[in-house]
Amino acid sequence: MDLALSVTKRSGLNSRQIQDAAFRTATRLFAFGVLILLGGVVVALAAGARPAFEKFGWYFLVSDAWNPVKDNFGALPAIYGTIVTSAIAMLVGIPLAFGIAVFLTELCEPHLRRPIGTLIELLAAIPSIIYGIWGLFVVAPVLQHTVQPALIQILGPLPIIGALFAGPPFGLGMLTAGVILGFMVLPFIASVTRDVFLTVPPMLRESAYGVGATTSEVIRHIVLPYTRVGVIGGIMLGLGRALGETMAVTFVIGNAHRIKASLLAPGTTISATLANEFTEAVSDMYTASLFALGFILFVITFIVLAAAKLMLLRLDQRAAK
């Protein structure tokens, strides 16, 4: 590139230099634009949230009030719900994603790999609102009439775990939301895990098979340790999505600003609260509290996504060596 520039300089073709400089500046401008965009989002959220943080301070993060009558708001139920539903989503999604990645890399017929892989990736293309209505109309009734009563009967009487499964089976609630979320993030984790598994040098795998390891042993002792960082990166990517998911959760979580021990109870997440209440927050403090929730969500997802990105970067660097 520099050679080209010095050539044109010597021939004195100035218009070309100007054109090049203009083009380069334009692209750089837009690149900066992306930075400004993120900055703008943070600033807008922080500005909108300021009245709430000023009034409640750090207490906002641990208060479980949500009282529009008295203008007293706390983020705890929403944060709790976000974390619990995401945790359930991980518990559901990771094993499934894992199994799929193992299947696609070790067990599947070579010509079926692409089609099945594509089908799994199509799961990621389905819009979240579709997961939401599917969850509401198909999954929730099934949970309400079969799974949840069974859980209450079998696990309810147990000493500590019982508290997690108490209460009337609504069909809607934290558990349902977590399960739907799990289905939603499963394709992301599966894709990344599969891609990462494929980076293992065949030599390593063949050597293990050569000394008589079974497939599951190869995965456990060779593939996983090698791809550990990438797998965790993929999981955190899925977690980042689960934390921020709105529509799939809003339909099935039950919209209750309460913290209950039971997973079968209705709850709320930050994004579900925003979706339900933003256009209707009448008082300024209410709106500010909602912005504050948005800000908190942004911070949480930022941290998770940044960590994931760094991990995947390290894997790229290692693979490049």
Partner 1 sequence: MQARRLTTWLGALALIAASAAPAAADGEISGAGATFPYPIYAKWADAYKEKSGISMNYQSIGSGGGIKQITAKTVDFGASDMPLTADKLSKAGLVQFPAIMGGEVMAINLPGIAAGGITLDGQTIANIYLGKITSWDDPAIAKLNPGVKLPSLGIAVVHRSDGSGTTFIFTDYLCKVSPEWKEKVGEDTAVEWPVGLGGKGNEGVAALTNNTAGAIGYIEYAYALQNKLPYAKLVNKEGTALMPGSTSFQAAAANADWPKAPGFYLLLTDQPGKESWPITGASFILLHEVQDKPEIAKQVLDFFAWSYANGSKMAEELAYVPMPESVVKLVEASWSKIKDGGGKPVWTSR
Partner 2 sequence: MTLYQRRRAGNVVALTLSWVATGIGLLILFLVLWTLLRNGLPALGSDLFTKPTPPPGGRGGIGNAIYGSVVMTAVATLVGTPVGVLTGTYLAEFGRGSRIAPVVRFVNDILLSAPSIIIGLFVYELMVVRMGHFSAWAGSVALAIIVVPVVVRTTEDMLMLVPGSLREAAIALGAPQWKVIVSVIYRAALQGMLTGVMLAVARIAGETAPLLFTAFNNQFWSTNMNGPMANLPYVIFQFALSPYADWQVLAWGGAMLITLAILMLNIVARLLTSWSNRTL
Shortest distance in whole angstroms from residue 19 CB to partner 2: 6
* Interface with partner 2 in residues 143-182 (CB under 8 A): none
Q: Give the CB-side neighbour count of residue 162, counting CA atoms within 13 A.
A: 7
Shortest distance in whole angstroms from residue 86 CB to partner 2: 12
* Interface with partner 1 in residues 62-81 (CB under 8 A): 65-70
* Interface with partner 2 in residues 252-291 (CB under 8 A): 271, 274-275, 278-279, 291
* Interface with partner 1 in residues 141-180 (CB under 8 A): 141, 144, 167-168, 170-172
Q: Which does 6 bind (CB under 5 to 8 A by kind): partner 1, partner 2, none?
A: none
The residue within the footprint of partner 2, chosen from 230, 294, 311, 315 (CB under 8 A), is: 294
What whole-number distance in Å separates Cα of residue 278 and Cα of residue 76?
18
- Residue 295: C-alpha distances to residues 73, 106, 112, 201, 276 (Å): 15, 43, 44, 43, 17
Does residue 229 touch partner 2 according to CB under 8 A? Answer: no
The pair of three-digit structure tokens given for residue 285, joined into one six-digit string:
């403090």
DSSP code, position 162: G
Closest CB to partner 2 among residues 262, 301: 301
Strand partners, 66: 73
Residue ranges with strand state E in the chain: 66-67, 72-73
Q: Which does 75 bind (CB under 5 to 8 A by kind): partner 2, partner 1, none?
A: none
Q: Are 188 and 123 in contact (CB under 8 A)?
A: no
Shortest distance in whole angstroms from residue 241 CB to partner 1: 24
Number of helices (H), then strands (E), in the chain: 15, 2
Q: What are phi and psi of 294, to 5 degrees?
A: -60, -40
- Residue 206: C-alpha distances to residues 144, 219, 226 (Å): 48, 12, 14
Shortest distance in whole angstroms from residue 66 CB to partner 2: 18
* Interface with partner 2 in residues 39-98 (CB under 8 A): 40-41, 44-45, 47-48, 95-98
Residues that bind partner 1 (CB under 8 A): 65-70, 140-141, 144, 167-168, 170-172, 254-258, 266, 268, 276-277, 279-282
